[in-house]
């Protein structure tokens, strides 16, 4: 595993982070059981993963609690999240703080390394920074949380306006943002500003469903062509991204997806999620692999640099809060 500093937090984290949500939810979302989920997290830690990201809404904090009971607390960095709003209802600070304490109870720990406001929309940002952030700072001062971050509602904010405002305020230690092979507008502005402000950046949506299935990728490319967003010729082949797979290049589209995101300047951790133990080593190996060839990256920029909002589907196992 390669390790890096997570922005200004001082936390030393592996560049491959285990995401405990998504559609798989450590296997719980696809028919797995608690024992299998616990074993999957154990295997990830054995492979060098030390950044574990969960959330109140994922239903996987109990899994991490069982793992934490078996290992030294300082051997992993725990990140969890709580929503700032549900629909149009702004969640009051007392409810968010209560959620933080519930997470502490479920995971059986005294302090959460990173507590993030989850899926903050542009309409709820003023509430997040004006009401929730001060309350969380008090929790930090009490020793219940070490650092505070914010995550975007990527499918609903293709321009990433909310994170732009968050960087203006410069009060968040970490941000979680969407980036993938065909959605990399964050590279133009957000990531350079994050580097300048020393804000940690967690990458989500590196693969999700679009790049995990050839059929979905083909259907997605056809839809983009139908909408006039890419050339029709690019959507006609069976493997529209197979130009990335060659000697000296990627081994698969998934391999390319992880490698592309991992080596974008400013990205600290690439989050990956799975319910299949056999996929763990492969995902980690891709994140640890060298950058894609420069010519392949230039081609990706030329073909898809204008796209926004591609590959940002909601997980199928829990409802969005927007």
3-state DSSP call for residue 282? helix
C-beta contacts of 62-67 below 8 A and 24+ residues apart: 62/34, 62/106, 62/107, 63/20, 63/26, 63/28, 63/34, 63/37, 63/38, 64/20, 64/107, 65/106, 65/107, 65/108, 65/109, 66/34, 66/38, 67/38, 67/41, 67/42
> What's the pTM?
0.95
Higher pLDDT, 37 or 315: 37
CA distances from 100 to 90, 109, 140, 168 (A): 16, 11, 11, 26
Instruction: Give me the domains of the chain, ranges plus CATH numbers.
Output: 3-304 (3.20.20.100)
User: Is it the case that residue 172 has pLDDT exceeding 60?
Assistant: yes
Contact 11, 45 (CB under 8 A): no
Q: Which residues contact 134 (CB under 8 A, 6 or more apart)?
A: 93
User: Is it the case that residue 320 has pLDDT exceeding 60?
Assistant: no
Helix/strand number for the chain, H first, E second: 12, 12
Digit-coded pLDDT (tens) for 141-152: 999 999 999 999
Query: What's the pLDDT score for residue 189?
Result: 95
């Amino acid at each position: 595993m390669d390790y890096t500093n997570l922005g200004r937090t001082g936390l030393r984290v592996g560049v491959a982070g285990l995401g405990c949500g998504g559609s798989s939810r450590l296997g719980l979302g696809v028919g797995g059981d608690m024992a299998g989920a616990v074993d999957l997290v154990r295997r990830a830690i054995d492979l060098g993963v030390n950044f574990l990201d969960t959330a109140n809404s994922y239903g996987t904090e109990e899994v991490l609690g069982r793992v934490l009971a078996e290992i030294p607390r300082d051997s992993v960095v725990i990140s969890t999240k709580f929503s700032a709003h549900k629909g149009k209802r702004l969640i009051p600070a007392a409810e968010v703080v209560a959620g933080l304490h519930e997470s502490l109870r479920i995971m059986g720990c005294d302090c959460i390394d990173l507590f993030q406001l989850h899926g903050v929309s542009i309409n709820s940002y003023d509430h997040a920074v004006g009401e929730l952030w001060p309350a969380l700072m008090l929790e930090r001062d009490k020793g219940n949380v070490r650092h505070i971050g914010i995550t975007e509602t990527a499918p609903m904010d293709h321009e990433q306006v909310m994170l732009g405002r968050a960087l203006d305020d410069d009060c968040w230690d970490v941000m979680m943002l969407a980036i993938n092979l065909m959605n990399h507008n964050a590279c133009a502005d957000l990531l350079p500003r994050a580097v300048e402000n020393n804000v940690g950046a967690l990458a989500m949506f590196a693969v999700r469903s679009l790049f995990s299935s050839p059929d979905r990728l083909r259907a997605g490319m056809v839809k983009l062509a139908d909408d006039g967003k890419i050339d029709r010729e690019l959507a006609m082949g069976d493997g529209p991204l197979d130009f990335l797979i060659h000697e000296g290049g990627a081994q698969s589209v998934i391999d390319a997806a992880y490698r592309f995101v991992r080596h974008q300047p400013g990205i600290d951790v690439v989050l990956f999620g799975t319910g299949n133990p056999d996929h763990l080593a492969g995902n980690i190996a891709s994140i640890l692999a060298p950058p894609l060839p420069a010519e392949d990256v230039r081609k990706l920029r030329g073909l898809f640099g204008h796209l926004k909002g591609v590959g940002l589907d909601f997980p199928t196992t829990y409802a969005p809060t927007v």
